[in-house]
Amino acid sequence: MDSAASARTGKGSRDENFPVASWLIADRHRPPIMAFYDFVRTADDVADHPELAPAEKLGLLDQLEAGLLGDDDREPAAVKLRSVLADHDLSPRHALDLLHAFRTDVTKLRYEDWDALMEYCSFSAMPVGRYVLDVHGESQALWPVNDALCAALQIINHLQDCGEDYQALDRIYVPLKDMRIAGVEISDLGQGQASPALLRCLSGLAVRTERLLDDANPFAWNIRDGRLSLEVGVIHSLALQLVQLLKHRDPLSQRVHIGKARAFGTMIAVLVGRTRFGRRNRVPGRRLPT
């Protein structure tokens, strides 16, 4: 395989857990976000490709980076994002951070503890929200609450897909320390149904993820762009619902996802709530510096 584009699985923004530049986002901001998404999706498909050897994956990720930085024109997604970044005076920093995360996916299959997982999320998840904030010209003072939300979204994905990640890629994002404390064997992740020990472990991690969402509570309410604020509010609400499911459901044998109808209902509920109560007075005393 001589290009990262050839590794694409066909998965798109509509297949993601959470909205990607939905109709809530202003039209002028959607193209740079989608260019970023296409680049990241391409890199993600390379890192997760079941037939490529690690050296091949790393070579294709290097090729994407070269295209992003203007040293190579073989990758359409990289060339497109490079052009968008130049047109909008945006830095490639966030895309480079994500490439670091995808290289880590190729070379690291286990995480010892929660702190190690948070370090991974600082490259794999937090830059996504930071880029969207940059596109909208929002303050970097929002980065800490963005980071809490993005890390929570990443961990939710890890918990949902823990069985599939292990069986397909021998990749475990569930911290090994938490598994040991709960009495979980690695082989438990390969079963058709979670053991009681694994259920306890995953439920405990869902609780910790809920705390991240608590930390992210002020995020949507402090975004100046009203449409982005709504989008983040919807994402936060969906994440809270998924965490509640993960506290009690078995992701190895049960569906732990929000259906389209429920997601649409969540969007309407957020829109109605903002209309009735306003944007900022729902989080008194938690205004962030600008």
- Residue 90's SS3 state is coil
CA-to-CA distance for 28 and 16, rounded, in angstroms? 22
Q: What is the pLDDT of residue 266?
A: 59
Q: What is the pLDDT of residue 282?
A: 45
Only one residue has tokens 């699985």, namely 9
Total residue count of the chain as it appears in this document:
290
**Count of beta carbons in the 10 Å neighbourhood of residue 113:** 11
Please identify every stretch of the chain with a pLDDT value under 70, giving residue numbers as ranges: 10-21, 258-290
Q: What is the pLDDT of residue 260?
A: 64
Q: What is the pLDDT of residue 10?
A: 66
Q: What is the pLDDT of residue 22?
A: 74
Sequence-ordered strand ranges (E) for the chain = none
Q: What is the pLDDT of residue 259?
A: 65
Structural domains for the chain: 22-107 (no CATH), 109-290 (1.10.600.10)
Q: What is the pLDDT of residue 284?
A: 35
pLDDT in tens, 249-289: 999 998 887 666 565 465 565 555 655 555 544 443 355 65
Helices vs strands, H then E, count in the chain: 12, 0
String of DSSP letters for 92-146: SHHHHHHHHHHHHHHH-----SHHHHHHHHHHHTHHHHHHHHHHTT--GGGHHHH
- Residue 177's SS3 state is helix
CB 53 within 8 A of CB 39: no
